[in-house]
Amino acid sequence: MSNNINDNNRSRLLIKCPDGPGIVAAISKFLFDHDANIIESSQYTSDPEGGTFFIRIEFHCEGLLEKRVEMENNFATLASTFSMDYRFSYANDRKRTAIFVSKEPYCLMELLWEWQSGDLETDIVVVISNHESARSIVESLGIPFHYIPANKDIRKQVEAEQIDLMKKYQVDLLVLARYMQILTPEFVDHFPDQIINIHHSFLPAFIGARPYERAYDRGVKLIGATSHYVTNDLDEGPIIEQDIERVDHRDHVTDLKKIGRKVERRVLARAVKWHLEDRIIVQDNKTIVFH
């Protein structure tokens, strides 16, 4: 979106509903009737015959801060007509992000760089780690850093502390930037479709631990990374983004890890960026991503 458009007057509308005629026309008329100008619109239908319709619209509307409550109330009638599942998101309501990291900081550093350069529409409000290694990097940027040792024996105690911190910092999005701890179902249930993970393989291949070692043992010719929403099924949540690099027999495990880190960084950064820009609609265990 153009930078010269006042954030206070910009919004995004995400909708999914049973497909049928007249949906786009009705939405367009609604926005027109409320003096809103459509900036960008993307849509998708899962099946032209009885499928699900998805649409993401960005629009500009003068005086949106004063109009938004009335606008949303009025839209509820239209939504009911088409059985819509929908949400409005406002550009001036910046999402608040927490990053979880363990010993390896490269994904964290990529996100911090993207944030510093203005490419992530968020406030990074806290970093939580079970290692101290990233503290100096994080605190040099004025971001609070919380060291919380974690292992399976104290997991519930640790997660209770982490949930309290998420409430304290009013977090909207949790990013697991190589946080090497398995989250309990109780923790995950607190944050549905709000936790983004990076897994260092091209899922569904090599789910779980030590994927590079297993990839090397299998003699793969491609390695990849996958960013997905976290569910209670390990590494099986809705996939947001994936990418790959070619490798060959000369690449040992250490080489695969070096190559893979580059893939991991860019895949996670893209997924986080698209979430923050409200470009993702989750449907069952899949995602619709409007690039």
Q: Which sequence positions are flagged as catalytic?
A: 235
Give the burial string for 166-204 (b: 16+ CB within 10 Å, else e).
beebebbbbbbbbbebebeeebbebbebbbbbbbbbbbe
Q: How far apart are CA 184 and CA 42, in angstroms?
A: 36
Distances (CA, A) of 228 to 77, 197, 256, 291: 34, 5, 21, 16
Q: Give the up-direction half-sphere exposure of residue 86: CA atoms within 13 A in the CB hemisphere.
A: 24
Maximum pairwise Cα distance, the chain: 63
- E strand spans, 130-234: 145-147, 173-176, 195-199, 222-229
The helix (H) or strand (E) run that includes residue 32 is helix 23-33
Q: How far apart are CA 142 and CA 190, in angstroms?
A: 27
Least Cα distance to 166 among 98, 95, 94 occurs for 98
Specify the length of the chain in residues. 291
